Chains A and B, each alone.
Chain A
């Protein structure tokens, strides 16, 4: 008896092959590399993770960076989306203007901000000096405490438009009937926002947060250009440390172990958010 293959399989086979070649095989290879060294099988790379001060610092800072940037970008994006949605005229123009930072490659944006942040010759301190502020101690990306804030600010500047874009699309997809019903019932702006708009926007909000959170957890390019993880290790993130370990120190096994742990954490966080989406 011969079993016939499902006809659809032939059509999805190329996509499955590409997925296997570009995702599944590299993942299996990553796990293999993380469990081996020159002598053969080892679990040492994973045990080292818990003793490595720099990795702990980098992982903690990555989480802080992601949480801070996500919170700021979400509230700013939502506020802008609500504001633009309420405009009677010129919505398209405002929308295009707000999206401009997102269109720049992150590396280019980082180079521009590096020049802006220069304490002596940068535009930012220059403008503040013109306004009469004392800028001698405003060192931005070079300051021990201000460096993290400065790189988060660049992320917020560049990626708030992404959340704005998704939330605007979500707002426009809300049917007008519930809003009109709320108005007829005498609900004010804030009550309508809290009890009608936000619950209807919840799936879009969760999707936007999920996409942005995954991106933030692998932050690399902006920090690489702006601070290289410094001063000291004040802005060191997990991706930066993994990059250095693999490509500067040629320790691929340890870098693979860190990447795998990062992947597991990101997947678990994404699963949590997706479960929330299903509930909604």
Chain B
């Protein structure tokens, strides 16, 4: 019996967190954003003689792991990396620790706004992501087309280039969920629509939103068949292969577009602001944030790390590793501007970018909205039917959350 108890104790000791005071566990997104943070964490660990444990998870799993950890207060992670739409949900679970001091003013206002809840900061912005409009400048010049400033110009250019070059004039992602919503939001805002009205009620059945979706379906006619199932990979593959002329995309893909080993059209893609329609064009914000869970057993060290990782020198290193910065001074650094030709466009897009609605129910709302958008784009239902369906379902989600 004594042997069994001893064995159980040894086993339990082995299962418990290896969390001595010299260990920091960090949950990061598997991808370019996470790679830069991993490298920074290892550097910080060496400086501070701290062991770094990196838990690298694909985007689809990162949220669920973090949310479960925060809800159950297990303290599995000392630092978490999160996409900005997750912030309201994670902060609503009382799982994040308020920052010990406010962030400085060098951070771009749009990236800071998504780190705050009821006047208190809970996170620091690490990756300054916002959408950009990618287009084939060489083909625009060949067909003497003006820059794609308005969505109507985009559609006309897509038709002209598509016919002239025997390629797809446009490519977008309309797989259900995040993909379809992300590519639709700039259209929705440009056409004067929004997900919620001033009273916080869903407003997707408005004429502006239906017009925006009808326009999306027009763009679908000049997009590759099957785009209703596309995600970011398929969209970028079309641009890299030179089989599509335009798309909305994220800065993470800029480097690949200029890399001859990955792109068949290196240097031919230009990066611009979102086109406008009834209202000026606005990009969707998709910043990555760093925060410290309230159950972290190493909060002081964790805060020390996230302030260090988001200071200007570290964000400069992160930019060189492929991450768009969140500080104005880094965006304006002459060395980086010379190295990254899209930086001015990225800064302008980021300054005007809009976040997704700040609600703890966003994941569920985005799912209902994205399914309806994907159904409309696959031809299963009409634009009006899709938006009425999404409106009803979002209203039910809000009602249930009361």
Contacts and interface: CB of A to CB of B under 8 A. Distances in A.
Q: Do the two shown chains form a genuine complex with each other? A: yes
A61 interface: no
A142 B230 contact: yes
Interface stretch (A202-210, A229-237, A264-272): A229-237
Nearest to B175: A230
For chain A, what secondary structure do more than half of its interface residues adopt (helix, strand, loop), or is it mixed? Answer: loop
A248 B68 CA distance: 10
Given A121-B241, A141-B229, A230-B229, A249 B224 contact: no
B71 A250 contact: yes
A233 B228 contact: no
A137 interface: yes
Interface string B344-378: 00000000000000000101100100011011111
Interface residues on A, range: 20 to 34
Nearest to B60: A224
Interface residues of B, number: 38
B366 to A, nearest CB: 9
A251 B376 CA distance: 27
Contacts of B377: 231
B363 A142 contact: no
A167 interface: no
Given A232-B371, A248-B64, A142 B228 contact: yes
Q: Which of B64, B241, B361 has the most CB of A within 10 A?
A: B64
A247 interface: yes
Contacts of B67: 247, 250
Given A136-B225, A228-B176, A231-B228, A144 B363 contact: no
Interface string B89-111: 10000000000000000000000
A147 interface: yes
Interface string B207-249: 0000000000000000011111111001001100101000000
A147 to B, nearest CB: 7
What 10 A-B pairs are tightest by C-beta distance, nearest first? Answer: A142-B226, A142-B229, A139-B226, A232-B375, A247-B64, A231-B378, A231-B228, A230-B176, A249-B364, A144-B378
Given A118-B234, A120-B243, A231-B175, 19 more contacts: A136-B225, A139-B225, A142-B228, A143-B225, A144-B228, A228-B175, A228-B231, A230-B374, A231-B229, A231-B377, A232-B371, A232-B378, A232-B381, A233-B374, A234-B378, A247-B63, A247-B68, A248-B367, A250-B71
18 contacts: A120-B241, A136-B225, A140-B226, A142-B225, A142-B227, A142-B378, A144-B380, A227-B229, A231-B176, A231-B375, A232-B376, A232-B381, A233-B374, A247-B68, A248-B64, A248-B363, A250-B67, A250-B89
